[in-house]
């Protein structure tokens, strides 16, 4: 039971990390990233492949964050000069392009067979390795949360908020919003890459099928449930998401006559319905009320 709670705790913290990255991008700066899973996948595969070559995990984790962040640069430069919705379209397309490339380039990634047998983080600690992973992830989430709060109050953070509020006014003041947007986009992507590395070295077996666009919208669902723009919202929303994802697994026992596959369909339906209902009726999060962030 403890092992199970620890495992879902770790996955919840990984979603927290993803949501905090998206919160920097969307919540603070208004960048609509529909390709969160692309940077998550790049991080997971980067760290996974490097570790299989014998690279020590601290280095492979750093490489995962750096590569995911760097990949965000061309995407950001490409679309951030244009209207908001282009970034959404481009990132969504990018995430599918990344998944298919991972699936096809089997000389590097072993394609659909995936990468089994990745080294587990803190494997040498034996029975307490999961607890150690949980503790390190908790530290990382706390650090990012603290950093985000600090950032919000800093001159850079105020700039980001101003981009979200009124970009034209900011340009008129002689600032270059596009540059800041690209920087934040890269930072959020690096966090997703880091989350990917944690995921790869906790699950120890990654396949392209784990990186479908649905993951992106799980993160979105968590963020908008909690209320985009606030660190507390991103974290509580991700925990709520985890309760939903795990809860829907048990729901199978109460709904008789529905197969495993049917249950997956129903879960997808619930995610779709949640996205619609939250945007319609709770735009500032489930407990956000009507006030603007």
Partner 1 sequence: MTWIEFANLLINGLIEGLVVALPALAMTLVMGVNRFPNAASGDLLTTGAYAAVAVQWLLGWPLWAAALLGAVITAGVSAGAYRLIFRKLAGRPMVASMLAAIGLGFLLRSLISFFAGHDQRTFDLPLVRAWNFGGVRLLPTDLVIAALAAACLAGVFVLIYRTSFGRQLRAVADSADLARASGIRAGGLMISLWLLVGALSAVGGVLLGMKAVVTPDMGWESLIPAFAAMVLGGIGSPVGAVLGALLLGVVQELAVPLLGPSYKLVLAFAVLAGVLLLRPAGLMGRVQLVR
- Name the token pair of 97: 């392009």
106 binds partner 1, rule: CB under 8 A = no
Q: Is 81 in the site for partner 1 (CB under 8 A)?
A: yes
Taking CA atoms, 62 is separated from 69, 90, 116, in Å, by: 11, 26, 21
The number of angstroms, rounded, from the C-alpha of 274 to the middle of its chain's C-alpha atoms is: 18
With binding defined as CB under 8 A, does residue 70 bind partner 1? no
Q: How far is the CB of 110 from partner 1 (least distance, A)?
A: 16
Closer by beta carbon to partner 1, 13 or else 225: 225
| Least distance from partner 1 to the Cβ atom of residue 242, Å | 19
Q: How far is the CB of 121 from partner 1 (least distance, A)?
A: 32
By CB under 8 A, the residues from 259 to 278 that bind partner 1 are 261-262, 265-269, 271-276
Q: How far is the CB of 252 from partner 1 (least distance, A)?
A: 13
* Residue with Cβ nearer partner 1 (93 or 147): 93
Residue 206 sits at φ, ψ, to 5 deg, of -115, 140
State the distance between the two ends of the chain, measured CA to CA, in whole angstroms. 39
| Using rule CB under 8 A, residue 86 touches partner 1 | yes
Q: Closer to partner 1 at the Cβ: 112 or 243?
A: 112
* Residue 247 φ then ψ, to 5°: -60, -40
- Name the minimum Å distance from CB 205 to partner 1: 23
78 counts as binding partner 1 under rule CB under 8 A:
yes
Which phi and psi (to 5°) does residue 228 adopt? -65, 145
Site residue total, partner 1 (CB under 8 A): 44
Min dist CB 209 to partner 1, Å, is 13
Minimum CB separation of residue 104 from partner 1 in Å reads: 5
Build a one-symbol-per-residue string for 148-177: x at contacts with partner 1 by CB under 8 A, - elsewhere. ------------------------------
Q: Is residue 224 at the binding interface for partner 1, with CB under 8 A as the rule?
A: yes
> In the chain, how long is the greatest CA-to-CA distance?
63
94 binds partner 1 (CB under 8 A): yes
Residues that bind partner 1 (CB under 8 A): 26, 30, 32, 34, 78-79, 81-86, 88-90, 92-94, 96-97, 100-101, 103-104, 214, 217, 220, 224, 261-262, 265-269, 271-276, 279-280, 283
């Amino acid at each position: 039971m403890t092992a199970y709670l620890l495992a879902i705790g770790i996955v919840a913290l990984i979603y927290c990390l993803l949501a905090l990255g998206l919160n920097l991008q969307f919540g603070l700066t208004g960048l609509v990233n529909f390709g969160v899973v692309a940077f998550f996948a790049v991080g997971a595969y980067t760290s996974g492949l490097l570790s299989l070559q014998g690279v020590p995990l601290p280095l492979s984790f750093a490489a995962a964050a750096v590569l995911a962040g760097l990949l965000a640069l061309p995407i950001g430069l490409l679309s951030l000069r244009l209207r908001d919705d282009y970034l959404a379209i481009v990132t969504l397309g990018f995430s599918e392009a990344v998944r298919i490339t991972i699936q096809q380039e089997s000389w590097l990634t072993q394609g659909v067979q995936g990468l089994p047998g990745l080294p587990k983080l803190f494997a040498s600690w034996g029975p307490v390795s999961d607890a150690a992973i949980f503790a390190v992830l908790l530290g990382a989430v706390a650090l990012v949360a603290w950093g985000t709060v600090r950032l919000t109050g800093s001159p850079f953070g105020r700039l980001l908020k101003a981009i979200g509020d009124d970009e034209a006014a900011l340009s008129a003041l002689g600032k270059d919003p596009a540059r800041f947007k690209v920087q934040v986009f890269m930072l959020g992507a690096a966090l997703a890459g880091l989350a990917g590395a944690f995921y790869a070295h906790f699950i120890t077996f990654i396949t392209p099928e784990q990186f479908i666009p649905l993951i992106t919208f799980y993160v979105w669902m968590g963020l908008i449930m909690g209320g985009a723009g606030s660190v507390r919202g991103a974290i509580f929303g991700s925990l709520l998401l985890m309760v939903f994802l795990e809860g829907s697994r048990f729901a199978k026992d109460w709904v008789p006559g529905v197969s495993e596959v049917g249950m997956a369909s129903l879960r997808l339906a619930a995610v779709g319905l949640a996205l619609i209902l939250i945007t319609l009726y709770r735009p500032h999060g489930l407990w956000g009320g009507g006030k603007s962030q």
